[in-house]
Chains A and B, each alone.
Chain A
Amino acid sequence: MTDVSDPRADDATAVVGTASYWHHEAEFLAARRAMNIARGRPDGFWWRLPMILFAHFLILLGLLGVGIAARKGEWSALVLTAFFGLPGLVFAYRWGYGRCRRLRKEFADNPTAGLKIDLTFTPDRLLTHSSRSDDSYRWAAFPAVVELRDGFLLMAWARTGVWIPKHALKGIDAPGLAAFLRSKVARYRVARRTARISE
């Protein structure tokens, strides 16, 4: 226990620690990447490369369908175009060409973009605060935690979660928070990966 106090905690002396960080683009991307890593969907370029190549393979199949239909008059080959070529275009845009644009849009759309996020850990709850939101969750709301080299991801239902960067911790260090979270959350997993992309 530390003497870190938080007026929103039921009992200020029960605050285990806090974290505080600015929700900038780097932190947004780290949280997103952490979620992908936690879900077994790493999103670094080399991990995405096979998916991007697969998308182009689907596009080639689609083009093959068009070619067969045009040259041999076998119009049923357009099935290849519809069921492989068109999804290939969507995947290539989603995983490759349109990814940066989509992420920038998601960040700009995020209501806490650019705001300071304060997290408070108490024995019963996680309290979060920004100038636009106040939340208080029981630890049971998080069935799993994934610890990365540079932060913790508290995973909630339906692909949502709370990102806690290690550099933001105050009044508690990373091993201390890890031990605390192990005692509060049913499933604890360590991923030897870094969520934050080096700048």
Chain B
Amino acid sequence: MELRDFPFLDDPARAIGWGSYRLTEDEFVVANRAARMAMAPWYRSRPWAIVFFGFWHATFLFGLYLAFLVPRPAGDGFNVDGVTLAVASGWFLWLLLYGVNRRIRAAFRTFPTAGDEIALAFTADRFIGRTSLGDSSDDWAFLRRVAELHDGFLLVLKIPNGSIWLPNHALAAPFDHQAAAELFRSKVPRYRVVDRAASAASA
């Protein structure tokens, strides 16, 4: 893809930077991991992860202990509180930890731009996107915040569940990671640096 391929970019000279990449399944998984890191501290910080998920594992085990291991009078059956605790915390762990990758890979199979080339260009007043399904040119005010990771940027939109992943390898020279960081910092008031990589391979 070239800058002149963006229909909403009348003059390619106005572009401060741009980039493009193919949305493969692995890239989709990395983008979702970046979104989780931008969203919750237990996904971006190991100490937080140990505390948060450790707590839910402990409640799960405690529930099992209450349900099946605490001695009870004959004929009392198992402890309902313990079963509730184990089921609720087990469901929570599946929702937030163990089932995440499976759900994301399943979502990729129905994602409308799966396998497409995603292209983004940035001007002083707009960010411009292009996929096989459409083109967009939106004011920077459409961005709620930006998270900078070692291997890319997550642009969080002001729509529910809306975000755009821009990996470093997509950036077209001379627009590199540092230039992109400077641009996003100057355009979006809520800017966060996450000192980790979203890609497990480069973590």
Query: Chain A interface (Cβ within 8 Å of chain B)?
Result: 76-77, 79-80, 83, 109-111, 125, 132-138, 140-141, 143, 156-160
Contact of B111 with A157 in the complex, beta carbons under 8 Å: yes
Q: How far is the CA of A49 from the CA of B137 in the complex (A)?
A: 41
Please name the 3 residue pairs, one residue from A and one from B, whose CB atoms are nearest each other, closest first. A137-B134, A132-B139, A141-B133
A-B contact pairs, 25 of them (CB 8 A): A76-B81, A79-B82, A79-B84, A83-B85, A109-B158, A110-B158, A111-B142, A132-B139, A132-B141, A133-B137, A133-B139, A134-B137, A134-B138, A135-B137, A135-B138, A136-B7, A136-B134, A136-B136, A137-B133, A137-B134, A138-B133, A140-B112, A143-B112, A160-B160, A160-B162
- Check: B198 CB closer than 8 A to any chain A CB: no
A-B pair number, CB within 8 angstroms: 69
Contact of B133 with A135 in the complex, beta carbons under 8 Å: no
Contact of A79 with B81 in the complex, beta carbons under 8 Å: yes
Among residues 147 to 164 in chain B, which have CB atoms less than 8 Å away from a CB atom of chain A?
158-162
- Check: B5 CB closer than 8 A to any chain A CB: no
Instruction: State the majority secondary structure of interface residues on B.
Output: mixed
- Check: B135 CB closer than 8 A to any chain A CB: yes
Closest to A157 in B: B112
Instruction: State the majority secondary structure of interface residues on A.
Output: mixed
- Check: B79 CB closer than 8 A to any chain A CB: yes
- Check: B181 CB closer than 8 A to any chain A CB: no
Closest to A78 in B: B81
Contact of B142 with A133 in the complex, beta carbons under 8 Å: yes
Q: How far is the CA of A134 from the CA of B129 in the complex (A)?
A: 11
Contact of A134 with B85 in the complex, beta carbons under 8 Å: no
| Residues from chain A with Cβ under 8 Å of B132 in the complex | 138
Instruction: Tell me, rounded to whole Å, the shortest Cβ–Cβ distance linking B17 to chain A.
Output: 20
Closest to A135 in B: B136
Closest to B160 in A: A159
Most chain B beta-carbon contacts within 10 A, residue among A76, A109, A137, A141: A76
| Residues from chain A with Cβ under 8 Å of B85 in the complex | 79, 83
Q: How far is the CA of A54 from the CA of B178 in the complex (A)?
A: 51
Contact of A159 with B112 in the complex, beta carbons under 8 Å: no
Closest to B137 in A: A134
